[in-house]
Amino acid sequence: MAGRLLLMGLDPGLRRTGWGLIAAEGNRLGHLGHGLVTSDADAPLAERLRQIYDGLSAVLAARRPDAVAVEESFVNKNPASTLKLGQVRGVVLLAPAVLGIPVWEYAPNQVKKAVIGAGHADKTRIQAMVARLLPGAAPDSADAADALAVAICHAHYGRGPLGLARLAERAA
């Protein structure tokens, strides 16, 4: 399983869930695509969650990644926002699981460390470094850039012996 792996990063959000797909082959990373799955801000919460699920399921079915990495939530000061984000994360974790795609999770500081080299950086710096690490990638939104950063993080941390064993199980 040392060949080319398609890794998708996801940055959960109720308004915009970012996705980014990279190819990882050895130490080389390549950009394959990125985008956003959005929901209608005027719709009820259940409908918005369905929109995120349906949109993300379509992206996953079309792109067929070998693994998905999701950014873990941080706690907001607003409990209602934290709860809604948790519900979106549930949908984002469920969509690849339903398709049998292995899912990993990474803390925001671990993602930043993998991309920037330090655990603290603003979204502008993340976006610039993602474009530098993935030639040809020009994410026009912070959400898509964050998703690509999560995929890069997984390429660095998630492909060790345990991660490769999980992918080999899926291929069997």
The pLDDT mean for the chain works out to: 88
Q: Which of 54, 140, 143, 146 is catalytic?
A: 143
Active site residue 11: yes
Q: Which of 54, 71, 140, 146 is catalytic?
A: 71
Active site residue 143: yes
Alpha-carbon gap, residue 158 to 153, rounded angstroms: 8
45/127: higher pLDDT: 45
Q: Helix, strand or coil for residue 57?
A: helix
Q: Tens of pLDDT along 34-93?
A: 999 999 999 999 999 999 999 999 999 999 999 999 998 766 778 888 888 899 999 999
Would the pLDDT of 135 be above 90?
no
